[in-house]
Chains A and B, each alone.
Chain A
Amino acid sequence: MNQKQFACYECDTLITITSINEGEVASCPRCHHHIVDKKYDSINRTLAISGTGLLLFIPATFFPLMSMQLLSVESSASLMSGISALWQTELYLVATLIFLFCVLAPLVKLSAAFFVTLGYKHKRHQHPFYKQLMLFYHHVDSWEMLEVFLIGILVSIIKLKDMADLSFNLGLLCFSAFMLCVLSLKVTLDKQMIWDDLDYEH
């Protein structure tokens, strides 16, 4: 670990961290915010998880999540069909927001994490483009809302359950797995370690 001195992001206290082991968390003595969170086997784990997440992207967004049967008419909803239904009812802004939070942000985040770890594994992290990739990851990091959408699916199922026959589809399983992959990035990707390995002029 190169960088020893840190300032707490929430209360600006200066602290010195001399050594920290994998799996340990260093927190601020004044406000208890986590400052450095050293992760286990970050690169391999992140590569595996982001790869899996990317494979799940198409089934998670296009496969029907659930279907409904009412008076012998059957209909089903997927993430994309929800967005296009809103677009057709002229709620363009809402449709765009859902597309950004639940489709684009997770996809872009997974791809960025995939290339960040792949590049690191192939020792390409001193390449100037790598820094841009890390910056890009930082900016898309907090915009996905998949876990909120999953609870949204559950709420709509319960809302409709008295009105019609409902059934789950394969898409729901893919979506849940996709969500888990995206959420796991927070636990596996050690951004601080990667930044510490990048060379720069003092």
Chain B
Amino acid sequence: MSTDLKSSNQESNTAKAQGLAQCHVCNLLIDIDESIDNYCPRCDSKIHMRIYDSLQRCWALTICSLIAFIPANAYPIMTILYFGKGQPDTILSGIVLLLKFGMYPIAAIVFIASFVVPLAKIIGLFVLLLSLRNKSKLTKQQRTKMYRYIELFGRWSMLDVFVVALLVALVEIGAVVEVVAGPGATAFGIMVILTIFAANSFDPRLLWDEEDNEMALTKEKKNKR
């Protein structure tokens, strides 16, 4: 069930155009004076028209996550030792091993969660950031949807780290088999955290602001004529 809503005012229908900002904690709409610091009267949170320094922080964090993506995949995430010997496995070589044993569905899950999702998240954030500088082929609706998926699926990249933790705890049969976690797990954890912060610092409303500005400009031009 959902109710259809009509915008209250068709011409300047965004909060920003009306000088209003919404509290990000309790959703109260507040008249905002941009020359001073504004606080929400209901929950005392500090209010900005848009997420403060959104683009700068998002660029920095996305670039950092791309850098962290390299050691996360290059270093071994764990080693399975049979009688004290074993080959260290990175995420990708672990997936290849799963394919060799014929475990296709599980290989697909691990590949999607720990390789496709973080990479898609980083690339997606770059696409969103670049679309604010240059003209983009994607519509605003599509880009907003893209941002929503980035936020929603990002957490799934922790999957392989959890698997390593469980295997390390479970397989401690002394001399026969042992699982040792590798430095790749740390790099991987850092990368996941960085991508979460990067996605959180992006403000999807910036995608729409441009259009709203253009609309306001054309309206001004019409008025001048």
User: What is the interface of chain A, defined by CB distance below 8 A to chain B?
Assistant: 3, 5-7, 9-17, 20, 23-33, 35, 65-68, 70-71, 73, 75-78, 81-86, 89, 91, 93-95, 97-98, 101-102, 131, 134-135, 138, 145, 148-149, 151-153, 155-156, 158-160, 162-163, 191-192, 195, 198, 200-202
- Nearest chain B residue, comparing its CB with the CB of A19: B3
What distance in Å separates the Cβ of B30 from its nearest Cβ neighbour in chain A? 10
Q: Determine the chain A residues whose CB is within 8 A of the CB of B110 once the complex forms.
A: 155
Q: Determine the chain B residues whose CB is within 8 A of the CB of A29 once the complex forms.
A: 4-7
Q: Determine the chain B residues whose CB is within 8 A of the CB of A11 once the complex forms.
A: 14, 140, 144, 204-205, 207-208
* A89 to B190 Cα, complex, angstroms: 17
Does A10 lie within 8 Å of B204, measured CB to CB?
Answer: yes
Q: Determine the chain A residues whose CB is within 8 A of the CB of B13 once the complex forms.
A: 13-14
What distance in Å separates the Cβ of A181 from its nearest Cβ neighbour in chain B? 18
Which residues of B (1-60) have their CB < 8 Å from a CB of A? Answer: 1-9, 13-16, 18, 20-22, 24-29, 41-45
Does A75 lie within 8 Å of B163, measured CB to CB?
Answer: no
Q: Which of the residues B7, B29, B158, B193 comes within 8 Å of A13, measured between beta carbons? A: B7
B66 within 8 A of A: no
B156 within 8 A of A: yes
Does A97 lie within 8 Å of B173, measured CB to CB?
Answer: no
Q: Which of the residues A7, A153, A195 comes within 8 Å of B14, measured between beta carbons? A: A7
Which residues of B (162-205) have their CB < 8 Å from a CB of A? Answer: 162-174, 176-177, 180-181, 183, 185-186, 188-190, 192-193, 204-205
Tell me how many residue pairs across A and B have CB atoms closer than 8 Å. Answer: 223
Does A14 lie within 8 Å of B14, measured CB to CB?
Answer: yes
* A23 to B173 Cα, complex, angstroms: 52
With known contacts A71-B176, A152-B162, A200–B42 Cβ distance under 8 A: yes
For chain B, the count of residues having a C-beta within 8 Å of the partner chain is: 77
B128 within 8 A of A: no
Q: Determine the chain A residues whose CB is within 8 A of the CB of B162 once the complex forms.
A: 82, 98, 102, 145, 148-149, 152-153
User: What is the interface of chain B, defined by CB distance below 8 A to chain A?
Assistant: 1-9, 13-16, 18, 20-22, 24-29, 41-45, 98, 101, 103, 106, 109-110, 113, 140-141, 144, 147-148, 155-156, 158-174, 176-177, 180-181, 183, 185-186, 188-190, 192-193, 204-205, 207-209, 212
What distance in Å separates the Cβ of A96 from its nearest Cβ neighbour in chain B? 9
* A98 to B16 Cα, complex, angstroms: 40
With known contacts A14-B9, A15-B8, A201-B41, A156–B167 Cβ distance under 8 A: yes
Does A97 lie within 8 Å of B172, measured CB to CB?
Answer: no
What distance in Å separates the Cβ of B90 from its nearest Cβ neighbour in chain A? 15
* A83 to B207 Cα, complex, angstroms: 41
With known contacts A70-B177, A101-B158, A155–B28 Cβ distance under 8 A: no
B103, B171, B180: residue with the most chain A Cβ atoms closer than 10 Å: B171
- Nearest chain A residue, comparing its CB with the CB of B167: A156
Does B98 lie within 8 Å of A159, measured CB to CB?
Answer: yes
Q: Can you list 17 A-B contacts (CB < 8 A)?
A: A6-B22, A10-B144, A13-B15, A25-B2, A27-B5, A33-B144, A83-B165, A89-B180, A93-B189, A94-B188, A97-B192, A148-B158, A149-B162, A155-B106, A159-B103, A191-B26, A195-B27
Does A138 lie within 8 Å of B176, measured CB to CB?
Answer: no
* A162 to B1 Cα, complex, angstroms: 47
- Nearest chain B residue, comparing its CB with the CB of A89: B181
Does A15 lie within 8 Å of B5, measured CB to CB?
Answer: yes
With known contacts A11-B208, A89-B180, A89-B181, A24–B15 Cβ distance under 8 A: no
